[in-house]
Amino acid sequence: MTDSDVAVVGFAQAPNVRATSGTTNGVEMLVPVFEELLSGTGMRTEDVGFWCSGSSDYLAGRAFSFIAAIDAIGAFPPINESHVEMDAAWALYEAWVKIRTGEVDTALVYGFGKSSAGELRRVLAMQLDPYFAAPLWPDSVGVAGLQARLGLESGAFAEQDMAEVAARSRADAEQNPHAQLSGRVLVAELLARPYLADPLRAHDCAPITDGASAVLLASAGRARELRDRPAWITGVEHRIESAELGGRDLTASPSTADAGRAAGAEGVELAELHAPFTHQELLLRDALGLDGSVRINPSGGALCGNPMFAAGLTRIGEAARRVWSGEAGKVLAHATSGPALQQNLVCVMEG
Amino acid sequence: MTEIAEPLSAPLEVGFDYTRSPGPVLGRFAAGLRQRRITGVRGSDGRVHVPAVEHDPVTAAPLDEFVEVGDTGTVRSWSWIPEPLEGQPLPHGFAWALVRLDGADTALLHAVDAGSADRMRTGMRVRARWAAERVGGIRDIACFDPVPDGPDSPGDADSPDDAGAPGDTTSAAPRDDSGLEPVQLLTTPIHLHYRHSASPEESRYLRGLAEGRLLGQRCPACRKVYIPPRGACPTDGVPTEQEVELPDTGIVTTFCIVNVPFLGQRITPPYVAAYVLLDGADIAFLHLVLGCAAEEVRMGMRVRAEWKPRAEWDTTLRNIDHFRPSGEPDAPYESYAHHL
């Protein structure tokens, strides 16, 4: 490893739950997450070189909501800190750049969201084109349904394939103590259930989830002090597609394909994909060229717990854990943001 | 010690009008809608974008070649919304649809009023239902209606059947561009509903106010007393926990005289908004200082809370109507210098 290499060396998350009684600034969720993350690596808060977070004011229902969350860090005297109004996987990208510049040698990245505070399907309309889409209040499930039907009717996949994604995810989530949903379900039973928003059934959609997660990054010089087998980031890239929903090819995910190519996705053994809808996992697998030999979402994925603005970062932490444990040598983590997979980030890590 | 009690929560309504200047391209699209006309824009690759876009999504070139398209089109995809949410175009079950209007190459997101999911299918023909009152915006189209007995389009962008649609008739009769002066302002009302929760520490404080008590909490690490207490001490990142009851007396650390009238103001200017540091607290909070002329208020002035009548108390700091001078000698600057 060269001096400018960066590794994921720590990960912790709050339980993924339907609702918490805490505040939308996330402090109650974050304090124990930071404690777990730092005690696991032997670091103290004052040792962290850079802090970067992902969260959303629309989710919290108030302006500059991320400011209050900084109390959980112990932000006085002033710290080196930044924020993105996106999933915290993009905050991790910023932190990765910060370490690459040589300005800091460790960074703590966190994301949090209390999705239960508002009406999530309406809140997410705020991320659409504000001129001619958002004024109609298209809800997130309805927009995902448009994408699912395009895939179904083009023959790219069937409802059976979507249900199989849900069943596999919930079975895998039985091994994940943080998951919101888990258990054995039969595909035939899922397909017998009514539509939530035809062509999507409830099992096709991620549950509304409150949660938070945090990841610790370190430079080559520090990583081995903090973790025996660091997960070295060998590629991290993100791409965006047009905000013109009806002008995109929704049956593919070209931004994921581009990001995957640029990040060096080829040859991964395991992938954590941020797919809040079953059909989106199918599109992502196709875009990344992941065949049947690649283990997908051993954590259960976002379909079993989707804390907004943290779920993408959680994928990076979950994938990194498989490198630390030696379970996998080369892994991929993916995060998405925006409607119908508009923005996608791919992070490839190796042991 | 803090006893376990469910944190306080209350509805939080967020509402505002977003006003945007759409510029010449989007503004022209909006202006067309007001006149029941749908005006797309031609992209660098010849494709006609509806709704209009300012820049080509592939090349990023600025676009300004306007093309009028039909108000009928073909459903490219749809999803059924059995129970519409607030703000959506129809009050009963409807379909979101991507509608490719005749003459356009991209699809417009809108609602189709089909009555039931059984009547929806990809490839079906639909026509815009125009709103009676049109203001220049996407909601000038109320929704789309299925075209009765309309033949399904093959629904394929490359189909030769689409040739000769209105968007391609650039050599036809000259367009009447009157009335297509771009809309200058798009207004979108936003109303969102939340359940706002106070933290356990804040809830103790708010419940204390309902009893006429001022409850702070001490940080277990740095021993500072915060009122309101905090979910985490900003210096140490740990929750405050040891309860401290504070008196309703303190000092003005800093203040400003409000001379400017504004919407919703409850006191006639000039009046004083001040940071009040309660005796024994390590953080000041904002309140009013009344009971003397505004110009008499000064840093270090001793003040005392003026509580509202007990019958009016609730779980808010409004229970203290204001602070007023207590008449005690001013606090020396050194005693509050590190709280500024």
CA atoms of A257 and A244, how far apart (whole Å): 19
- Residue B164 is predicted with a pLDDT of 39
The closest CB to that of B109, out of A24, A133, A197, belongs to A133
- Between B151 and B34, residue with greater pLDDT: B34
Question: Residue type for A24, please?
Answer: T
- Which residue pairs, CB below 8 angstroms and at least 24 apart, start in B111-115? B111/A136, B111/B143, B111/B144, B112/B75, B112/B78, B112/B143, B112/B144, B112/B145, B112/B146, B113/B143, B113/B144, B113/B145, B113/B146, B114/B146
Q: Does A119 touch chain B (CB under 8 A)?
A: yes
Residue from A274, A305, A302, A301 nearest A116 by CA: A305
Across A198-204, average pLDDT: 98
The closest CB to that of B199, out of A27, A138, A150, belongs to A27
CA atoms of A109 and A94, how far apart (whole Å): 9
Q: Does A40 touch chain B (CB under 8 A)?
A: no
The C-alpha of B242 sits at a distance from chain A's nearest C-alpha, in angstroms, of: 17
Outline where A9-118 has alpha helix (H).
27-41, 57-60, 65-69, 88-100
- Reading phi first (left if > 0) and then psi (alpha if -120 to 50, else beta), residue A95 is in alpha
**How many C-alpha atoms does B204 have within 13 Å on its Cβ side?**
21
The closest CB to that of A247, out of B49, B80, B197, belongs to B49
pLDDT at B103 over 80: yes
CA atoms of A195 and B81, how far apart (whole Å): 10
- Residue A74 is predicted with a pLDDT of 87
pLDDT at B156 over 90: no
Contact B136, B109 (CB under 8 A): no
- Residue B172 is predicted with a pLDDT of 46
Contacts of A144 in chain B (CB under 8 A): 79
Q: Does A3 touch chain B (CB under 8 A)?
A: no
pTM above 0.90, yes or no: yes
The closest CB to that of A61, out of B97, B194, B200, belongs to B194
Neighbours of B293 (CB within 10 A): 8
The C-alpha of B315 sits at a distance from chain A's nearest C-alpha, in angstroms, of: 17
Contacts of A197 in chain B (CB under 8 A): 79-82
- pLDDT band (50, 70, 90) for residue A2: low
pLDDT at A267 over 80: yes
CA distance readout (Å), B223 to A226, B202, B213, B242: 31, 18, 21, 9
Q: Does A147 touch chain B (CB under 8 A)?
A: yes
Coil, strand or helix: which one is A156?
Answer: coil
CA atoms of B209 and B216, how far apart (whole Å): 11
CA distance readout (Å), A46 to A6, A120, B81, B236, B237: 20, 36, 50, 10, 11
Contacts of B117 in chain A (CB under 8 A): 195, 198
Sign (positive or negative) of CA dihedral B165, B171, B176, B178: positive
CA dihedral A185→A186→A190→A193, nearest 10 degrees, is: -100
- pLDDT band (50, 70, 90) for residue A95: very high
Across A86-97, average pLDDT: 98
pLDDT digits (tens, 9 = 90+) for B83-100: 999 999 999 999 999 999
The two tokens of residue B313 are 């108390």
The strand pair at B94-101 and B66-69 is best described as unpaired
- Verify whether the Cβ–Cβ distance A250 to B77 is below 8 Å: yes
Question: Residue type for B223, please?
Answer: R
How far apart are the two ends of chain A, measured CA to CA in Å? Answer: 11
- pLDDT band (50, 70, 90) for residue B162: very low
pLDDT at B23 over 60: yes
Q: Does A252 touch chain B (CB under 8 A)?
A: no
pLDDT digits (tens, 9 = 90+) for B246-272: 999 999 999 999 999 998 898 999 999
Average confidence score pLDDT of chain B:
91
- Verify whether the Cβ–Cβ distance B12 to A61 is below 8 Å: yes
CA atoms of B317 and B326, how far apart (whole Å): 20
**Proportion of chain B above pLDDT 90, given as a percent:** 82
- Verify whether the Cβ–Cβ distance B80 to A198 is below 8 Å: yes
Coil, strand or helix: which one is A107?
Answer: strand
pLDDT at B166 over 60: no
Residue from A347, A321, A323, A324 nearest A334 by CA: A347
pLDDT at B171 over 50: no
Across B173-180, average pLDDT: 64
The C-alpha of B98 sits at a distance from chain A's nearest C-alpha, in angstroms, of: 6
- pLDDT band (50, 70, 90) for residue B299: very high
The closest CB to that of A134, out of B12, B188, B192, belongs to B188
CA atoms of A63 and A245, how far apart (whole Å): 27
- pLDDT band (50, 70, 90) for residue B5: confident
Contact B68, B175 (CB under 8 A): yes
Q: Which residue out of B44, B79, B206, B283 would a mutagenesis test of the A interface target, given it has the greatest number of A Cβ atoms within 10 Å?
A: B79
Among chain A residues, the shortest Cα distance to B190 is held by A135
